[in-house]
């Protein structure tokens, strides 16, 4: 029986970050993932400024494109463009990012094992036993970072209060898509998918196209993606590497820990309801979980998580309701003077909450808050 202080299940951004923080703090850590690395994951691959403030290591080597301009449309008609200094998002691919983070976790001292699925999790009074690959393991604590479809949450009896969205994405090479209009630019399409939006993001040698919305939109996502492609002058058949994935979105107050098991990232449902981004939340939760475990106070994790994320999550849920029910009104509000600057401040991490915005942005943001109250509640 191998023994560790912490078993981290899943080597995505949340798991590798948690392993990094724990190993640097002196814990004996096993980081296990069922996939062989490098492996890809469906994801828009955007690293916002606020996410990078919590990055567990330098990630410049895996950044492929820097975005400082947004183009926003509603119903594939009428658009506006805004530019930001400094840049808003750095684009990467999960194949590169996750491999880099896992390598850094190993360099920090974690025992990283890919191709090692984790099963037979059994919590006990003094820790948790599990089968990692073919090896029996005992760990004082488990950090569940195995994503939206992972087994750790189920083993801990967690997962209630998490709603699910769904996204579908694919790639087109530059050449099929004229590069100039998309250079350093993120295109966001409002009012085209119930419960979500469409996007076109620039990467190193290609552009990433995607659509996301409520789980009920799953059977229609291919049609939504085809419309998005045609709206950008593409034959839908040129969109390659098409993949779908779930978006777990936690209701404020949902449990993220039980006993000796702590959930981080997508396993805890920590995807932003409005944007569908989860890397910021992954790195925040990883740091907080590691801090709680290293301090010997795992019971403080949930309160710390709520303190950092809940206000922003509540604002994102409200904005999602408004955007879903009143996309055109939201479009006009976002293009009002000062509002994009507030949105950019949120993405960069300079602004903690929409109510912290000043000047001309305040009236349209208050109007959006009123629209959110008029919209139907989240199912």
pLDDT in tens, 180-198: 999 999 999 999 999 999 9
The pLDDT of residue 360 is 86
Distance CA 109, CA 237 (A): 45
- Quick one: pLDDT at residue 184? 94
Residue with tokens 């419960």, as numbered in its chain: 195
* Bridge partners (DSSP) listed for residue 271: none
In terms of Cα–Cα distance, which of 259, 211, 250, 255 is closest to 231? 211
Which of 157-161, 167-171, 250-254 has the least mean pLDDT?
157-161
- Percent of the chain residues topping a pLDDT of 70: 99
Beta-bridged to residue 129, according to DSSP, are: 122, 138
Question: What gap in Å lies between CA 285 and CA 268, rounded to an integer?
Answer: 9
Q: What pLDDT does residue 379 have?
A: 63
| Nearest to 347, CA basis, from 122, 89, 170 | 89
| Structural domains of the chain sorted by starting position, each given as residue range(s) with its CATH number in brackets | 2-58+93-161+249-311 (3.50.50.60), 65-89+163-247 (3.30.9.10), 313-374 (no CATH)
Q: Which residues pair with 67 in a beta bridge?
A: 89
Who contacts 106 (Cβ-Cβ below 8 Å, separation ≥6)? 31, 112
What is the C-alpha to C-alpha distance for residues 378 and 316, in angstroms, rounded to an integer?
Answer: 12
* Three-class SS of the chain: CEEEEEEEECCCHHHHHHHHHHHHCCCCEEEECCCCCCCCCCCCCEEEHHHHCCCCCCCHHHCCEEECEEEEEECCEEEEEEECCCCCEEECCHHHHHHHHHHHHHHHCCEEECCCCEEEEEEECCEEEEEECCEEEEEEEEEECCCCCCCHHHHCCCCCCEEEEEEEEEEEEECCECCHHHCCEEEEEECCCCCCEEEEEECCCEEEEEEEEEHHHHHHHHHHHHHHHHHCCCCHHHCEEEEEEEEEEECCCCCCEECCEEECHHHHCECCCCCCCCHHHHHHHHHHHHHHHHCCCHHHHHHHHHHHHHHHHHHHHHHHHHHHHCHHHHHHHHCCCCHHHHHHHHHHCCCCCHHHCCHHHHHHHHHHHHHHHHCCCCC
Model confidence band, residue 358 (pLDDT cutoffs 50, 70, 90) = confident
376 token code pair: 């139907």
Mean pLDDT of the chain: 93
pLDDT over 90 percentage in the chain = 69
Over range 342-359, report the average pLDDT.
85
| pLDDT band at 297; cut points 50, 70, 90 | very high
What is the per-residue pLDDT for 149?
Answer: 82
Lowest mean pLDDT among 260-264, 306-310, 319-323: 319-323
Q: Per this entry, what is the length of the chain?
A: 379
Output the six-digit token pair for 159. Answer: 């997962």
pLDDT of 82 above 80: yes
Provide the pLDDT confidence category of residue 41 given band limits of 50, 70 and 90.
confident
Q: Per-residue pLDDT for 314 more than 80?
A: yes
Q: Is the pLDDT of residue 304 over 90?
A: yes
Distance CA 301, CA 322 (A): 31
Residues pairing with 79 in the sheet: 73
Distance between CA atoms of residues 24 and 45, nearest Å: 26
Give the pLDDT score at 361: 86
| Residue 341 predicted with pLDDT over 80 | yes
Calpha distance 51→281 (Å, rounded): 8
CB 98, CB 13: distance < 8 Å: yes
Quote the CA–CA distance of 301 and 298 in Å, as a whole number.
Answer: 6
What's the whole-number mean pLDDT along residues 140-164? 90
Structure token pair of residue 220: 């229609």
What count of other Cβ atoms lies within 10 Å of the Cβ of residue 205? 9
The model's pLDDT over 97-119, given as tens digits with 9 standing for 90+, comes to 999 999 999 999 999 999 999 98
Question: Does residue 10 have a pLDDT over 90?
Answer: yes
Q: Is the pLDDT of residue 353 over 90?
A: no
Three-point CA angle 202, 208, 212, nearest 5°:
125
Tokens (6 digits) for 250: 């936690």
Q: Is the dihedral of CA 51, 53, 55, 56 positive or negative?
A: negative
* Distance from C-alpha of 345 to C-alpha of 226, rounded to nearest angstrom: 33
């Amino acid at each position: 029986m191998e023994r560790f202080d912490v078993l981290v299940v899943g080597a995505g951004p949340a798991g590798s970050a948690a392993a990094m923080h724990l190993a640097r703090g002196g814990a004996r850590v096993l980081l296990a993932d069922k996939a062989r690395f490098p492996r890809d994951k469906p994801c828009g691959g955007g690293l916002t400024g606020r996410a990078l403030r919590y990055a567990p290591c330098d990630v410049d080597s895996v950044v492929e494109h820097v975005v400082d301009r947004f183009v926003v449309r509603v119903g594939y008609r009428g658009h506006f463009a805004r530019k930001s200094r400094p840049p808003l998002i750095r684009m990467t691919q999960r194949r590169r990012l996750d491999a880099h983070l896992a390598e850094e976790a190993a360099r920090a001292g974690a025992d990283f094992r890919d191709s090692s699925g984790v099963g037979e999790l059994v919590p006990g009074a003094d820790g948790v036993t599990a089968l990692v690959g073919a090896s029996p393991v005992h760990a004082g604590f488990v950090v569940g970072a195995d994503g939206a479809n992972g087994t750790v949450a189920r083993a801990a009896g967690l997962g209630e209060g998490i709603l699910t969205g769904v996204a579908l994405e694919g790639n087109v090479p530059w050449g099929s898509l004229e590069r100039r209009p998309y250079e350093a630019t993120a295109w966001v399409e409002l009012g085209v998918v119930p419960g979500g939006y469409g996007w076109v993001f620039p990467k190193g040698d290609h552009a990433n196209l995607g659509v996301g919305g409520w789980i009920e939109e799953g059977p229609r996502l291919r049609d939504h993606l085809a419309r998005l492609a045609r709206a950008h002058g593409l034959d839908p058949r040129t969109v390659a590497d098409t993949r779908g994935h779930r978006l777990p979105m936690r209701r404020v107050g949902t449990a993220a820990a039980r006993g000796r098991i702590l959930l981080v990232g997508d396993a805890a449902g920590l995807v932003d309801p409005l944007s569908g981004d989860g890397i910021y939340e992954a790195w925040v939760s990883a740091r907080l979980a590691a801090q709680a475990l290293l301090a010997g106070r795992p019971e403080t994790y949930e309160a710390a998580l709520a303190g950092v994320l809940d206000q922003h999550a509540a604002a994102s849920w409200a904005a999602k309701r408004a955007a879903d029910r009143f996309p055109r009104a939201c479009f006009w509000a976002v293009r009002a003077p000062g509002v994009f600057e507030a949105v950019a401040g949120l993405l960069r991490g300079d602004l903690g909450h929409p109510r912290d915005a000043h000047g001309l942005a305040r009236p349209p943001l208050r109007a959006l808050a009123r629209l959110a109250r008029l919209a139907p509640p989240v199912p």
